[in-house]
Structure 1
Amino acid sequence: MKPWIKRALIGIFGASVLFGGLAACSHRGSYSHGWQAMSEEDAAKTKAKIVERVGSRLDLDEAQKAKLGVLADKLREQRNALVGNTSDPRAEMASLVAGPTFDRAKAKSLVEAKTGAITSKSPEVIAAMADFYDSLKPEQQAKVREFMAKRGHRGWRG
């Protein structure tokens, strides 16, 4: 496998693991609608906690923590773009089957909106993940790989 493909796959997988952690942390407390429903102040506090927790586990320096913060911001931007402007995604999905026939046009527009959000924001997320991962020392990278290998087989709830 070519090195750039391997690095990209590791980056994407690492970003999804980090994204899962961010999403899991965002559902704690009084935030019943996830990270996108938080105020900017609450999101900043949550991000600071996550950066501090990951920073302590990986022994990150300040520059690495800053890059991790940028990655967290990019992931939140992508998630917010993916969720879109809807306040109730379940109702939006239920509206597809509300009538006597499945609303194919609306379903297609929903899929196009979601894939457009992923396509437009993914390069920024990949670049932020690559910048963060490439800034890690070899022993820190080994910890990340070890964490992914140990936790990867049990899914998100692990």
Structure 2
Amino acid sequence: MKPWINKVAAGALGAIVLAGGLTACSTSHTRTAHSAERMAELKGKAVLRISSKFDLNDEQKAKLNVLADKLDAQRVQLTGSGAGTRAELAGLLASERFDRVKAQSLLDEKTRAVQTTGPEVIQAMGDFYDSLQPAQQQKVRERLQGHGQWFDRG
């Protein structure tokens, strides 16, 4: 190739790589906690999607909403109002020695949260599942056996 063609080709390749890199870096895929409004929106979408996939009646939808509320309450208790689990774990590793006392405290806190809200979640799940008709229960079992994903696009 001629020298000017080499320079143009190298410049174009550099511009493409630079544009691709800037595009990749500009998208925001941070792992921050969602706001309460965003979580309510996601919960509503999940309930609507599950309701339509299983053809739920009004009573079943109400029980599914109760289950979603209980799961959300448990999520809030588990995640807490602090900086998040990732930041808490980073705090354990911040010094030269692993903070075993703080790690045990963190584990105890999460265990208490599950023990506190767990029975309510189990009760709500049982109420919802028991309200399903046999054909709907079979659909749930099939989903759990891997014949489909809960939030698949199909």
TM score, norm. by length of structure 1: 0.70
Matched with 2:32 is: 33
Aligned partner of residue 112 in structure 1, secondary structure: helix
Q: How many residues align?
A: 124
Q: Which has the higher contact order (CA 8 A, sep 6+)?
A: 1
Q: Which residue of 2 aligns with 1:93?
A: 89
- In the alignment, the residues of structure 1 paired with residue 29 and residue 56 of structure 2 have an alpha-carbon distance, to the nearest angstrom, of 30
Which deviates the most, 68-77 or 91-100?
Answer: 91-100
Asked whether 1:83 is paired with 2:79, we answer yes
Letter paired with 2:125: M
Q: 116-125 or 94-103, which moves further after superposition?
A: 94-103
Alpha-carbon distance in structure 2 between the residues aligned to 1:30 and 1:64: 35
Work out whether residues 31 and 38 of structure 1, in 8 Å CA contact, stay in contact via their aligned partners in 2.
no
Q: CA RMSD in A?
A: 2.5
The alignment's TM-score, normalised by the length of structure 2, stands at: 0.71
Shift of 1:64: 0.3
Q: Which amino acid in the other structure matches residue 60 of structure 2?
A: Q
One-letter identity of the residue aligned with 2:136 = Q
Larger Rg: 2
